[in-house]
Amino acid sequence: MSTDTWPLWEVFVRSRRGLSHTHAGSLHAPDAEMALRNARDLYTRRMEGVSLWVVPSTAITASSPDEKDPFFEPAADKPYRHPTFYEIPEGVKHL
Amino acid sequence: MTAGTAGTAMTARAPGTDAADAAAQAAREAVFDAAVAADERIEPRDWMPEAYRATLVRQIAQHAHSEIIGMQPEANWITRAPSLRRKAILMAKVQDEAGHGLYLYSAAETLGVSRDELLDKLHTGRQKYSSIFNYPTLTWADVGAIGWLVDGAAITNQVPLCRCSYGPYARAMVRVCKEESFHQRQGYEALLALSRGTEAQHAMAQDAVNRWWWPSLMMFGPPDDESAHSARSMAWKIKRHSNDELRQRFVDIAAPQAEALGLTLPDPDLKWNEERGHHDFGPIDWTEFRDVLKGNGPCNEQRITQRRRAHEDGTWVREAAAAHARKHTAQPGEAQA
């Protein structure tokens, strides 16, 4: 039995209450409970987190790097979605 | 995200399109080159030249191996640490080294190699670790000297790696560098305590520094004109500074630190050069470096034997954990106590 048969988990850490969990890294573990314990030892040795998520890497669906341009292109020609697109006369406040 | 590498889809090759293939290949290379030139990061599922991938696997694996082999010389002193405070610190440090190894193995895995494959290569001598860990820790002062000099040299090497062109490696290094700072400071503090202690303690500190200084300078690798892969790694922005440049930086940092410790560095040629704005230092014995690298250092055999034994002794734990996981996934309805 090798660690190869231990699935890969992605670890997400909430650094403090009020913030979202962010990806910290990955690790191998035989099951979810061990993944959580390993994640605590590996990614929160210095109080980096108040909450942990572990997710099997295989459960993640990612966009393909190859279709990067067409996939994200629709957002590129819509600058009117940003507040800086609009011209407001000088002196107008709270806008 | 480590999950990345599996998803590289291969499209079926249309026959007779060598020219089209070549054009597609050139386009992929252009995208890669442009990303590196623009100081963007390369991520696991991006196309990358095979030699870039191979270089990273070799470097990250060697780095990971160094972290876990590096646990041994220091763990040697855990049971004999002079106080509970020093013992707790040393345990935390050795645990950090294990953590650093794991961050780095994860980074290597994003390049399509498995952890077992890497460990096997370490255990059979097909991949190396830093030759510094083939020197013995003879006294308690060695723990201090390792923290100050070996970790200090490692930090000098690693800080620029936080900007390495390969994303997962750079991210691992950010984490490692944050933690290394404690390693270096605890070593310095331990040496300072000895240096200001009794005459015998001071002598012990000086002896440790005498033994670790030159091997620490060797950690930066061979001189620039003999370093086989340096130029290419720098073009790829895996490496940001040359070996000699980093070595000089380290000497300039360490010399005044030694003075503050009240210890001397074992180099009669070491002196400030006003003109260069750097310290001059004596020639390094590269014969010793190559000899240790070849396997003839004082502890090469012991380090690998102990690593293999630790791995083998852990087999039953890995098997039991996997069996437990299998049992519980097989019966999902079963209540978990």
- CA triple B17-B23-B27, angle to 5 deg: 145
Phi/psi at A8 (5° precision): -90, 140
- Mean pLDDT computed over B137-162: 97
Residue in B closest to A56 by C-alpha: B3
Chain B closest-CA separation from residue A4 CA (Å): 7
Q: Does residue B10 register a pLDDT over 80? A: no
* pLDDT number for residue B337: 43
B172 shares contact with chain A (CB less than 8 Å)? yes
Structure tokens at A24: 């910290």
Pairing of strands B278-280, B271-273: antiparallel
A4 shares contact with chain B (CB less than 8 Å)? yes
d(CA B130, CA B62): 7
- Mean pLDDT computed over B16-27: 85
Structure tokens at B150: 């070996």
Cβ contact A2–B171 (<8 Å)? no
- Cα dihedral B5, B7, B8, B10 sign: positive
pLDDT exceeding 90 applies to what percent of chain B?
84
pLDDT exceeding 70 applies to what percent of chain B?
93
Per-residue tens of pLDDT for chain A, all 95 residues:
455 578 999 999 999 999 999 999 999 999 999 999 999 999 999 999 999 999 999 999 998 877 667 888 888 788 899 999 999 999 999 88
Q: Does residue B2 register a pLDDT over 50? A: no
Q: Where do the H-state alpha helices sit in B126-195? A: 140-145, 151-158, 167-195
B154-187 burial by CB neighbour count: b if 16+ within 10 A, else e?
bbbbbbbbbebbbbbbbbbbebbbebbebbbebb
Cβ contact A2–B318 (<8 Å)? yes
- Mean pLDDT computed over B258-285: 97
- Mean pLDDT computed over B247-264: 98
Which among B4, B103, B321 has the least Cβ separation from residue A25? Answer: B103
Terminal CA-CA length for chain B: 33
* pLDDT number for residue B309: 97
A45 shares contact with chain B (CB less than 8 Å)? yes
pLDDT digits (tens, 9 = 90+) for B185-218: 999 999 999 999 999 999 999 999 999 999 999 9
Q: Does residue B332 register a pLDDT over 60? A: no
Structure tokens at B60: 């990250």
d(CA B337, CA B332): 13
Q: What is the mean pLDDT of chain B?
A: 92
B106 shares contact with chain A (CB less than 8 Å)? yes
ipTM of the assembly?
Answer: 0.86
Residue in B closest to A33 by C-alpha: B325
* pLDDT number for residue B225: 87
